[in-house]
């Protein structure tokens, strides 16, 4: 799938069902990828939360229009952060895997925002997902949302017409698909071990504890 800037500058509808079809609710199966390859940053560099020397690294591939990704962000990640990230046991890496043009646009906006606000903005995007992702006018809904996080119409359009940034977002997604077999969201790698679906905290705790 190639996402061009024309698509999301002119998009006026989003088929939410099409995006949801590529998400996986709470299904987990495990296999492993080469962790050294996985941890090489992609074209955008990585956004990281936690101690870089933590014994466990979680890499999440998510789409900002994925409902199950939003559930993980709002319900499970805060518990992981409190018990494992803030205590130095887990390093968490978030990577873009947009399922549609609106998700790609949202990913670009998060990258255009101040770097120290990245995770706050991702969290707010998931929290307010229904207000900007699943509307009859997603372009203007996303524009209005972006104004809440400091964008103007000019800076919004400048960000979304940055072809280099778009290519890099696409590159993160394409690398995940081609090198690591990611084909749905959310997909997690825990020290290189793949787990697919919006797992509950108790499931994640078991997985993490096995790596400690």
State pLDDT tens for residues 50-81: 999 999 999 999 999 999 999 999 999 999 99
The torsion angles phi and psi of 92, rounded to 5 degrees, stand at -115, 130
CA distances from 91 to 77, 137, 151, 208 (A): 12, 37, 30, 11
Point out the least confidently predicted range of 4-13, 82-91, 164-173: 4-13
Instruction: Record the pTM.
Output: 0.87
Enter the tokens of residue 4. Answer: 């061009």
Spatial distance between the Cα atoms of 147 and 186, rounded to a whole number of angstroms = 27
Spatial distance between the Cα atoms of 212 and 206, rounded to a whole number of angstroms = 10
| Cis ω before 186 (30° cut-off from 0) | yes
Given a cut of 70, whether residue 3 has pLDDT beyond it is no
Domains of the chain from N-terminus onward: 12-211 (3.40.30.10)
CA 172 to chain centre: 11
Average pLDDT over residues 91-114: 95
Q: Please list the alpha-helical segments (H only) found in the chain.
A: 5-10, 16-20, 35-38, 67-71, 77-80, 101-112, 118-127, 129-132, 138-148, 153-160, 163-180, 201-211
Are 31 and 205 spatial neighbours (Cβ–Cβ below 8 Å)? no
Given a cut of 80, whether residue 1 has pLDDT beyond it is no
State pLDDT tens for residues 121-130: 999 999 999 9
Is 195 in a helix, a strand, or coil? strand
- pLDDT number for residue 14: 36
Task: Name the average pLDDT for the chain.
Answer: 87
- pLDDT number for residue 128: 96
Spatial distance between the Cα atoms of 74 and 46, rounded to a whole number of angstroms = 21
């Amino acid at each position: 799938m190639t996402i061009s800037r024309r698509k999301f500058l002119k998009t006026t509808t989003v088929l939410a069902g099409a995006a949801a079809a590529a998400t996986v609710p709470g299904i987990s199966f495990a296999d492993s990828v080469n962790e050294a390859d996985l941890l090489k940053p992609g074209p955008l560099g990585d956004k990281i939360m936690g101690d870089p020397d933590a014994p466990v690294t979680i890499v999440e591939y998510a789409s900002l229009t994925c409902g199950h990704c939003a559930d993980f962000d709002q319900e499970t990640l805060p518990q992981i952060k409190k018990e494992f990230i803030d205590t130095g046991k887990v390093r968490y890496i978030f990577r873009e895997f947009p399922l549609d043009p609106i998700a790609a646009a949202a990913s670009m906006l998060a990258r255009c925002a101040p770097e120290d606000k990245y995770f706050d903005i991702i969290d707010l995007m998931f929290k307010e997902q229904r207000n900007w992702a699943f509307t009859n006018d997603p372009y203007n809904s996303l524009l209005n949302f972006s104004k809440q996080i400091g964008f103007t119409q000019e800076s919004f359009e400048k960000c979304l017409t940055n072809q280099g940034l778009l290519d890099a977002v696409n590159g993160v997604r394409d690398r995940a698909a081609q090198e690591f077999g990611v084909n749905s969201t959310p997909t997690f790698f825990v020290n290189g071990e793949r787990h697919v679906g919006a797992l509950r905290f108790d499931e994640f705790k078991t997985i993490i504890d096995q790596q400690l």
